[in-house]
Chain A
């Protein structure tokens, strides 16, 4: 992949000057060559990411397929559920969904249809899976995005507040540890009791507008923001101990400027790594939050599909979650380059 890249870059910019200064080594920051090198670095990253993304999605779908197949109980049993179970009904279900074919045939058939964009039909709802999911992705994305933003704000806010102030930092750290330890379910109920049942500030349920998003997003964001906060706080402390911090202080810059312009940049790298990781985990957390707050979303669909062994829907949810995860970690990967100039040269 990497060897192809100079080619592509050249093809994309046929008129680009290729003087003696061109190339990765010896460029000076800010020169056109340096920008091209940076652009190439980003392009390499994107392409690598794309290949990795396809592989990741394929692996996830395959793993989910295998897990569902290995899980105890047959799909026929699950489709019958609590309903009457007669040989006639069994035979109909098997025939209708082609469940008598070898599992490998079912798998290959599924992958082939996936390539054409066909996610199949829900066993339970007898609707195209795309229809089952189409209304559910947006609320989940809204929730995940809002929670991520809140978590980062929470983490950076508390981190900056406690940086270089050991006592305050210890206090904030205990608050964060408490928030991480509370089960999401209970935190959601607590927030509801405080800010919905008693004060009526926020509605209890639904996905109607901004106000309905606040409490679910907070429920997700507080524990995640606390984890991020711990990491960020560590990073800030380490940065503040570095000689450059002392030098900067002796030059007379303010605490806020030191934190904002220098220390934060150092502390952000590990934080961003963790952020990418937890946002993937957010999708799991939405199952509980959606249940508590009666919100639509992928979590509810996944829960219902898993309990009814609605295989096509489960696989589609896995597919969608993996895609979102890959997207987020790709963005994180690119953010490294923005935060840390050194990385621009080592694609």
Chain B
């Protein structure tokens, strides 16, 4: 989590004011709980209503079915997981108080809290956990979870009222990460059995979270009220007990300019998704707080198709990478607010190969030399390189609904850059989903763009680089990849996963199979009287409203 210096200044200013007021003997500055020293708990007051402008109309509010990163802040209000993540990526207690893992890494025994109730009044216990995981294994319920995250789960057994045992077919290094993800948020077994809108989520799909869902108006807003009985926050939460806010209303405002205007006119208290052009409005004004957080997983990058010419030629791929002055491109597109990606893994991940940084790119002379060597020596009337009368064209078709962060502009800027420096025709087409999927299923592309927001970067790597894996659009099938991915996904400790994943990153950059572009980020801007808004550890997406309070 990166806080802007202005946020720190704003916090300092507030603290100074409080101290001055206290010095004057005025009691009004110490409402609520007494100052405990912790920044976000100091002066925290309960009560009030928060309105939060969000970007995305969620497709579902069921945490187990949800695949949208942008909906995770919503489901975290309503649902808790068994395990939580600490700031450094450690695994910490939540609904499970402790756990043990067998020496072969296949059997996980979890002790559960015995004082937790669902919003419908039923008790949370080992049987409830089993009901959830049995449901998750139904292939049609949440297909990707059943097929991928829990593909190795052999059984879930109730060992005692508050003891549950998961047995895996083989060790899965990211299993605890799954137990901490919203996809394993625990739903009341009564809801799993009888909710009318189980897949879409809604007020009849209930959890144990700090807020209770009260109303969903599709396309307009999603309303929550405080769960007064809540006393089981994740270990890393900034306070214990019920949430501070009485109610939270999320307003769906898909247009960035409208979110910005809604906050500057104080019609909402918080917004997420601040476009880079508007960041300075909030970051440079002390009447707001602004925070930016890099996402985990695989950063946004270009993957070259190894299965066909000309991108099967490593010289062409290296030339493309060398032809791009990525720092300049990012600066012009994102006004200096983007973080450059250097490897196939996000820089926030413990598996990140930092050594790769600053080792490649922006070498136009080298790029031209490589293309000459590869035989792309002639030029056509438009200035593009050709070989045997064929233009050096690399096609990319992106689906317009999935375009965010001005990626269309970024791709055009890269295209202009490689044309200018090396005569490469990087042809970017923005199309509907059908056309884009058709291009990929008929192998009618040389470049593919993608990013993944998985909280465990290893999961993202398996999907992108595994032989025949679902999104292996570069069609990489080097046997070394299988070795590294196998070692990384079955290692018994997190430390043992680092080396194979770093080898993979070094290889991918050395072979120029990927040109990583930037690390996707989330932003939160609030008015100065809102405190405690933050991001989910590790994944870096905005968190729910549990720790948020409003000064009165």
Interface residues on B, range: 35 or more
Report A238 CB to chain B, min CB distance, Å.
Answer: 42
CB atoms of A196 and B267 under 8 A apart:
yes
8 Å CB contact of A197 from B251, B265, B471: B265
CB atoms of A296 and B218 under 8 A apart:
yes
Scoring B residues 435 to 467 as 1 if CB is less than 8 Å from chain A, else 0, what string do you get?
111100100000000000000000000010000
Separation of A78 and B147 alpha carbons in the complex (Å)? 18
CB atoms of A294 and B220 under 8 A apart:
yes
Task: Report if B144 contacts A (CB, 8 A).
Answer: yes
Scoring B residues 255 to 277 as 1 if CB is less than 8 Å from chain A, else 0, what string do you get?
10110011011011000000000
Separation of A309 and B143 alpha carbons in the complex (Å)? 18
CB atoms of A204 and B147 under 8 A apart:
no
Scoring A residues 288 to 312 as 1 if CB is less than 8 Å from chain B, else 0, what string do you get?
0011111111001100100111000
CB atoms of B144 and A83 under 8 A apart:
yes
Separation of A189 and B219 alpha carbons in the complex (Å)? 18
Which residues of chain B in 207-235 are interfacial with respect to chain A, using CB atoms and an 8 Å cutoff?
217-221
Whether A127 contacts B200 in the complex (CB less than 8 A), given A290-B219, A296-B218, comes out as: yes
8 Å CB contact of B147 from A89, A132, A296, A300: A89
Which residues of chain B in 109-160 are interfacial with respect to chain A, using CB atoms and an 8 Å cutoff?
139-140, 143-144, 147-148
CB atoms of B219 and A294 under 8 A apart:
yes
Separation of A290 and B402 alpha carbons in the complex (Å)? 20
Task: Report if A145 contacts B (CB, 8 A).
Answer: no
CB atoms of B438 and A73 under 8 A apart:
yes
Find the A residue at minimum CB distance from B220: A296
Which residues of chain A in 184-208 are interfacial with respect to chain B, using CB atoms and an 8 Å cutoff?
189, 192-193, 196-198, 200, 203-207
Find the A residue at minimum CB distance from B450: A82
Task: Report if B432 contacts A (CB, 8 A).
Answer: yes
CB atoms of B435 and A294 under 8 A apart:
no
CB atoms of B257 and A205 under 8 A apart:
no
Task: Report if B477 contacts A (CB, 8 A).
Answer: no
Task: Report if A135 contacts B (CB, 8 A).
Answer: yes
Report B129 CB to chain A, min CB distance, Å.
Answer: 24
CB atoms of B470 and A86 under 8 A apart:
yes
**Which residues from chain B contact A83 at a C-beta distance below 8 Å?**
67, 143-144
8 Å CB contact of A196 from B53, B140, B265: B265
CB atoms of B144 and A300 under 8 A apart:
no
Whether A125 contacts B217 in the complex (CB less than 8 A), given A72-B435, A78-B437, A82-B67, comes out as: no
Task: Report if B254 contacts A (CB, 8 A).
Answer: yes
Task: Report if A100 contacts B (CB, 8 A).
Answer: no
CB atoms of B67 and A206 under 8 A apart:
no
CB atoms of A89 and B57 under 8 A apart:
no
CB atoms of A85 and B265 under 8 A apart:
no
Scoring A residues 60 to 78 as 1 if CB is less than 8 Å from chain B, else 0, what string do you get?
0000000000011110011
**Which residues from chain A contact B148 at a C-beta distance below 8 Å?**
84
**Which residues from chain B contact A122 at a C-beta distance below 8 Å?**
200
Find the B residue at minimum CB distance from A206: B220
Which residues of chain A in 76-109 are interfacial with respect to chain B, using CB atoms and an 8 Å cutoff?
77-78, 81-86, 88-89, 92-93, 96
Task: Report if B46 contacts A (CB, 8 A).
Answer: no
Task: Report if A124 contacts B (CB, 8 A).
Answer: yes
CB atoms of A78 and B262 under 8 A apart:
no
Task: Report if A330 contacts B (CB, 8 A).
Answer: no
Task: Report if B27 contacts A (CB, 8 A).
Answer: no
CB atoms of A205 and B258 under 8 A apart:
yes
8 Å CB contact of B463 from A78, A84, A132, A307: A84
Separation of A320 and B251 alpha carbons in the complex (Å)? 26
Task: Report if A273 contacts B (CB, 8 A).
Answer: no
CB atoms of B199 and A85 under 8 A apart:
no
Task: Report if A56 contacts B (CB, 8 A).
Answer: no
**Which residues from chain A contact B59 at a C-beta distance below 8 Å?**
124-125, 304, 308
**Which residues from chain B contact A73 at a C-beta distance below 8 Å?**
432-438
Separation of A326 and B470 alpha carbons in the complex (Å)? 46
Whether A126 contacts B199 in the complex (CB less than 8 A), given A72-B434, A73-B434, A203-B267, comes out as: yes
Separation of A304 and B221 alpha carbons in the complex (Å)? 16
8 Å CB contact of B139 from A88, A131, A196, A297: A88
Task: Report if B25 contacts A (CB, 8 A).
Answer: no
Task: Report if A136 contacts B (CB, 8 A).
Answer: yes
CB atoms of A293 and B199 under 8 A apart:
no
8 Å CB contact of A204 from B200, B267, B402, B463: B267
CB atoms of B432 and A205 under 8 A apart:
no
**Which residues from chain B contact A126 at a C-beta distance below 8 Å?**
198-200
**Which residues from chain A contact B265 at a C-beta distance below 8 Å?**
196-198, 200, 204
Find the B residue at minimum CB distance from A133: B218
8 Å CB contact of B261 from A81, A93, A132, A204: A204
CB atoms of B433 and A309 under 8 A apart:
yes
Whether A205 contacts B262 in the complex (CB less than 8 A), given A85-B471, A92-B143, A294-B219, comes out as: yes
Whether A301 contacts B219 in the complex (CB less than 8 A), given A127-B197, A204-B265, A307-B401, comes out as: yes
Find the A residue at minimum CB distance from B221: A206
**Which residues from chain B contact A82 at a C-beta distance below 8 Å?**
67, 402
Report A155 CB to chain B, min CB distance, Å.
Answer: 28
Q: Which of B220, B258, B438, B471 is the most central at the interface, judged by chain A CB atoms within 10 Å of its CB?
A: B220
**Which residues from chain A contact B402 at a C-beta distance below 8 Å?**
82
Task: Report if B307 contacts A (CB, 8 A).
Answer: no
Task: Report if B252 contacts A (CB, 8 A).
Answer: yes
**Which residues from chain A contact B147 at a C-beta distance below 8 Å?**
84, 86, 88-89
Given contacts A71-B432, A72-B435, A204-B258, 6 further A-B contacts (CB under 8 A): A73-B434, A78-B437, A84-B144, A89-B147, A92-B140, A291-B254
Closest 7 A/B residue pairs (Cβ): A73-B434, A296-B219, A300-B219, A126-B199, A72-B434, A307-B401, A197-B261
